[in-house]
Chain A
Amino acid sequence: MDLNYSPEESAFRDEVRAWIRENLSDELRDKVLNYRELSKDELLGWHKLLARKGWVAPFWPKEWGGTDWSVVQRYIFEEECGAAGTPIVVPFGVRMCAPVLLRFGTDAQKQRFLPRIYNGDDFWVQGYSEPGSGSDLASLKTRALRDGDSYVVTGQKIWTTLGHYGDWIFCLVRTDSKTEKRQDGISFLLVDMKTPGITVRPIILMDQGHEVNEVFFDEVRVPAENLVHEEGKGWTVAKYLLGYERMGTGNIAGSKRELARLKKMAGPLLDDPRFRDRLTRVEVELMALEITNMRFLDQLRGGRAPGAEVSLLKIKGTEIQQAITELMMQTAGPFAQAFRPVNGESAFDRLTASLVPRYCNVRKATIYAGSNEIQRNIIAKATLGL
């Protein structure tokens, strides 16, 4: 065991850092650090820069643009991005749809979609949840009926993150409602959001932000060639994808950056032993999680799909994210409430003004991508055999 970085790894870190410094604009960085909404162009702009550099999808196979980095290199890369305050690479295409296509897609589908995903030509979003099907995803009702060369899709998705930016949405749909096991009637379908019959409606969250949506499908005709894997095998696809989905949600690199900022913000509070203890506990937890993360990633070498261990990363990672926002609120003290001036300009710095909305917003982290309760159920069953 050696928990130190090798000289090569440190050199790699320098390279990544220098590249980010050259390519990340102050304006964009400022927006990220102040938790401002990023436009579609800003998100895809950063994606395209990385794509040009060849770094947008490190974990893909080399032939499709992957980097062949070691687990440690991948972590270093994420850590540097987090520390610098780069926008995230929106996961729905690169981290979610692409691994599915690589595993289950036909050659034609790979040729058609993977290069566009890599280059950031399309904005992908995820259409899984429905009003009646959140944790219990297999109960989903959005139906897709085969009609000649097409599926006709009718139903509703909800909580679609950045659905208002979406060019394409990958959906779980019900192609057969009569199967004995509900899971067997589900299929995985790629839908062009410009197809007639699709309506996207915003949902405003309690931080007043617009990031999620309802997506309605009214007899939307989708070419049958957009089916991934076989009809009725969508659940297998979804299960494969879930591990990848959750892998990113721990957001360790982001938490490291936020923790460093928290320390700066805390100022005189750092002399308060009560506060300092609280802060230290979070910091220590994060240190442990960093190593846990790398231990688990290391086990995934050789292409094994992530399993229940990812649930642990998700649980701890999101709890830490939330704990940091809570401590940030505490540092702002009485100022943690000011949010928006009624008229004109705010006398507050934007960071302080963003702390409450941020605290509210991050409550989502223990709900989405499989709630933390569901993650615990998974560990109980899959790891512990209970």
Chain B
Amino acid sequence: MDFEYSDEQKLLAETLRKFLNTGYGFDARAKIVAGPAGWSEDVWAVLAEMGILSVPFDAEHGGFGGTTVDMMVVMEALGEFLVVEPYLATVGLGGRFVARGGSSAQQQRILPTLIQGKLKMAFAQTEPGARYDLRQVSARATKSGDGWVLEGDKRMVLHGGNADLLVVSARTSGGARDADGISLFLVERTAPAVTVTEYRTLDNLRVADVKLADVRVGREALLGGEGRGFALAEEVVDYATALVCAEAVGAIKYAHDATLDYLKTRRQFGVPIGSFQALQHRMVDILISYEQARSIACLACVKVDSADAAERRRAVSAAKIKIADACRHVSQEAVQLHGGMGMTEELKISHTFRRLTSIAQAFGDADYHLERFATLG
């Protein structure tokens, strides 16, 4: 076993952090989220230029050929700085779908452009009432001539409003909760009959409802085998879940550092509040949560690439359970120990609180993953 990041990984982290430190401070971020798009083309271009968009993809498409541990390094930094650009949606979900399930023609068409920062993606999956169940797909795809006609009502699509290309899950056969019969399609967001309604989330990301009303796509739009989309979706969502766990570790680390700093500098009763033993123990528990979160995120990022699907599922669900708990615990305690200041829009800690709250429920809350883990045996 080796728990250290490699020199290459350290360099990657350093380069990214250096940019974020200078170009993505809290004020710069505030300007970005206040803008009409809610994210920055310029930042996206820099991420492309630095090769951050290329990390997990194969060299033949212009990628860096990195592992998920390399991605962990990236996600941690994005979490620490609360980056709102559509990295997870494009690289972690869309790009991963293409890399894992796409034909070589699809990969050639999409991945190099994506890596250059010229194509953004999103995964349109969630439907009303489906909660986190990937099997629950009612959207339909019907064969028509040489292609397909899609119809469906997708909700809460992460960065769906600014994606160029959507991966849409739709049923080509089977009943509403069957794993079999789900197929995945690549759909241009600007295609006729695709309607997008964009929302702002409280953690200042963008999500969208995507309505597909008789959307015609060609045969080449099918991603992976017909009716076999579930296994691919599950694998990719596991991957994205591992990434979001790593993102949480970065945000938790920030919350830890900021709170510790506050305990040392905020004075009441003539002493730093960190001198109160009641608060010292609370701070220690934050530290414990952070260390445990980091460990389980490492485990998920290492195992998510495993060829053994059962091992992958176990590690990812275990991670998401711990991370969801840690997100809640640390975010709530960080705000509490900041007193009134922790409640304000003005302080980064409240934004970190919101991102952690959101991550706790992303790709399944703790209960969902408890159930999944328990039934894996």
A contact set with B: CB distance below 8 Å:
129, 132-136, 139, 158-159, 203-208, 212, 272, 274-275, 326, 329-330, 333-344, 346-347, 356-357, 359-360, 363-364, 366-368, 371-373, 376-377
Contact = CB atoms under 8 A, between A and B. Distances in A.
Contact of B345 (A135, A159, A205, A272): A205
Contact of B268 (A139, A207, A367, A372): A139
A226 B231 CA distance: 74
B73 to A, nearest CB: 26
Contacts of A340: 199-200
Contacts of A329: 357, 361
Chain A to chain B: the 6 pairs with minimum beta-carbon distance, closest first:
A206-B350, A136-B268, A342-B198, A204-B345, A337-B201, A333-B131
Interface in B310-353: 328, 332, 335-336, 339-340, 342-346, 350-351, 353
Nearest to A207: B202
B365 A330 contact: yes
B367 A158 contact: no
29 contacts: A134-B268, A139-B269, A139-B270, A205-B343, A206-B344, A206-B353, A208-B345, A272-B367, A274-B371, A330-B361, A333-B132, A334-B126, A335-B156, A336-B361, A337-B205, A337-B207, A337-B358, A337-B361, A340-B199, A342-B161, A342-B206, A356-B354, A356-B357, A360-B357, A363-B332, A363-B342, A367-B336, A376-B278, A377-B278
Given A139-B268, A206-B343, A339 B370 contact: no
Nearest to B374: A274
A153 B270 CA distance: 24
The prevalent SS among residues of B at the interface is mixed
Contacts of B199: 338-342, 346
Interface string B365-377: 1010011000000
A329 B361 CA distance: 9
Interface residues of B, number: 48
Contacts of A342: 38, 161, 198-200, 206
B203 interface: yes
B190 interface: no
B201 A159 contact: no
Residue among A207, A346, A363 with the highest chain B CB neighbour number at 10 A:
A363
Given A204-B346, A342-B206, 7 more contacts: A136-B268, A136-B269, A334-B156, A363-B336, A366-B336, A371-B336, A373-B276
Contacts of A206: 202, 343-345, 350-351, 353-354
Contacts of B345: 204-206, 208
B209 interface: yes
